[in-house]
Amino acid sequence: MHTDIEIVEAEQTSIDCTMADSTANSRTRDLDKLLLRPGHLIGPNFEPGPELRDDLQEYAKVLVIGAGGLGCELLKDLALSGFKNLEVIDMDRIEITNLNRQFLFRLEDVGKPKAEVAAKRVMERVSGVNIVPHFCRIEDKDLDFYSDFNIIALGLDSVEARSYINSVACSFLEYDSEDKPREETIKPMVDGGTEGFKGHARVIIPGVTPCFECTIWLFPPQVKFPLCTLAETPRTAAHCIEYAHLIKWDEVHNGKAFDPDNPEHMQWVYTEALKRAELFGIPGVTYSLTQGVVKNIIPAIASTNAIISAACTLETLKIASGCSKTLSNYMSYNGVEGVHVKVTEFVRDKDCLVCGSGVLIELDASVTLKKFINLLEDHPNLHLSKASVTHQGKNLYMQAPPVLEEMTRSNLTRPLFDLMGQVARDTVHVTGMMSKNDKKMSGLRKLRVVFKGVDGVADMDSAGSA
């Protein structure tokens, strides 16, 4: 790394304008302009000054979900945008194919937990920032964990995970008697997503802007090939691959599960797909396509992740400080042909089960916790099985872990009314398995429980009484 370039020394000309103000020689030189000065196009509650900057550093806590392509960028961007208390959660380990964009990871890190390496690398370079890594599933953390953060930034690649975090963040939301969201119970989220040259960034203020579930139609379910096409009328290379993967594998391997991360398994599917393609005269089966189809690989590049994460970080800073207007409320990005940025103001679903005021359940005061749990499974809007129930942060019944299950088991036979402290109405949180479009996924719901015949509430409309 050396230069042999000889540059003739130019006469001292005017001051170099690309250099920044050298008198304001502090780490927050650039950010201070935004946080310390009054502005004209700003958010509500913007109170510029050194206190704002210091409070942001001292008190604002941001949780980053995912330490992948978006997560790595988010951690760096947030650390350099005035946030000092960060935590990150990711259940994955580093793979070779991450290295073209997840810039905090090196070849020697392959196999290590993403969250831990990412946190370490950012802390090494940005002094004063503290990042707590969590190498686990998002479902492993309880509500108390999530309630601790001011803002949650989502860098995820699955609809299920987004949906879960969304239900967690919305579960804290409470409405006042005029059906307005209580400000102190709002847990804002920023959400990013990318695919190739395309992506989105959005701001979710539960109770104010649509939550993930209000606009779930933005993420249509993945199209699966009909089995009869695979078995009887294959036409494309992908049909041959899915035949080998979904039908032939089970026929041959009696009971042995297919593991997409096992190269031998992948090779077997590829070879079988190739045989089938030859049999039918179908072109295009390659090893790379086989991996792509079987693992549902979404192409990903560094630039789009950088763009989307930057937009999410900017919005996080705005929500936390009010230093500018916030995105209202969904930005879609497409860089395939030029650059198209489109902002759409989506509207809330008034009847949303997740960010609404909660499903109303009317019960007799005598209903036991066990009966209540059974009732949730049959509830037409909930379909929630294996429910765990908490009330005001107290575990009434937990399905897992076994220790907690045993501790709470005796509650099952007691009336819910008593367990909830004999109040006429209150909110309970339930987590469990929900079935949606024939798919099981874990979820969380907020329920407004009202006891009949107590406190004169018998005339309330009942949205979900059993």
Partner 1 sequence: MAEPKTKYDRQLRIWGEQGQAALEKASVCLLNCGPTGSETLKNLVLGGIGSITVVDGSKVDVGDLGNNFMVDESSVGESKAKCVCTFLQELNAAVKARFIDEYPEKLIEMKPSFFSEFTLVVATQLPERSMVNLDRICRDANVMLVFARSYGLTGVVRLSVKEHTVIESKPDHFLDDLRLNNPWLELKRFSESIDMNVPDPVAHKHIPYVVILIKMAEEWAKSHNGSLPSTREEKKEFKDLLKSKMIGLDEDNYKEAVDASFKLFAPRGINSNLRQILDDNCAEVDSRSSDFWVLVAALKEFIFNEGGGEAPVEGSIPDMTSSTEHYVSLQKIYQAKAEADILVMELRVRNILKKIGRDPDSISKMTIKSFCKNARKLTVCRYRLVGEEFSSPSLPELQKYLTDEDYSMAVGFYILLRAVDRFAANLNSFPGQFDGEMDEDVSRLKSITVGLLTELGCNSSILTEDLINEMCRFGAAELHAVAAFIGGIASQEVIKLITKQFVPICGTFIFNGIDHKSQILCL
The single residue among 336, 350, 400, 438 that binds partner 1, judged by CB under 8 A, is 336
Rule CB under 8 A: say whether 254 interacts with partner 1.
Answer: no
Q: Site map for partner 1, 25-54, x if CB under 8 A?
A: xxxxxxx-xx--xxxxx-------------
Burial class (CB in 10 A: 0-12, 13-18, 19+), 242: buried
Total residues interacting with partner 1, rule: CB under 8 A: 93
- Sign of dihedral through CA atoms 225, 231, 233, 234? positive
* Interface region with partner 1, contact rule CB under 8 A, candidates 58-66, 184-192, 283-291, 358-366: 283-291
Query: CA 319 to CA 184: how far, in whole Å?
Result: 14
Structure tokens at 433: 């398995």
Rule CB under 8 A: say whether 181 interacts with partner 1.
Answer: no
Residues in contact with 200: Cβ distance below 8 Å, sequence separation at least 6, in sequence order: 191, 192, 193, 308, 330, 331, 332, 333
Q: Is 214 a catalytic residue?
A: no
The single residue among 130, 262, 286, 303 that binds partner 1, judged by CB under 8 A, is 303
Q: Site map for partner 1, 138-167, x if CB under 8 A?
A: ------------------------------
How do 340-344 and 330-334 pair as beta strands?
A: antiparallel
Q: Which residue lies nearer to partner 1 by CB, 18 or 254?
A: 18
Task: Specify whether the CB–CB gap between 169 and 204 falls below 8 A.
Answer: yes
Rule CB under 8 A: say whether 189 interacts with partner 1.
Answer: no
Query: CA 169 to CA 443: how far, in whole Å?
Result: 12
Residue 438 backbone class (left: φ over 0; alpha: ψ -120 to 50; beta: rest) = left
Phi, psi of 430 (to 5 degrees): -125, 135
Rule CB under 8 A: say whether 441 interacts with partner 1.
Answer: no
Q: Site map for partner 1, 88-127, x if CB under 8 A?
A: --------xx-xxx-x--xx--x-------------xxxx
Phi, psi of 447 (to 5 degrees): -120, 140
Rule CB under 8 A: say whether 17 interacts with partner 1.
Answer: yes
From 211, 228, 312, 352, the catalytic residue: 228
Rule CB under 8 A: say whether 228 interacts with partner 1.
Answer: no
Q: Site map for partner 1, 388-407, x if CB under 8 A?
A: --------------------
* Active-site annotation, residues: 228
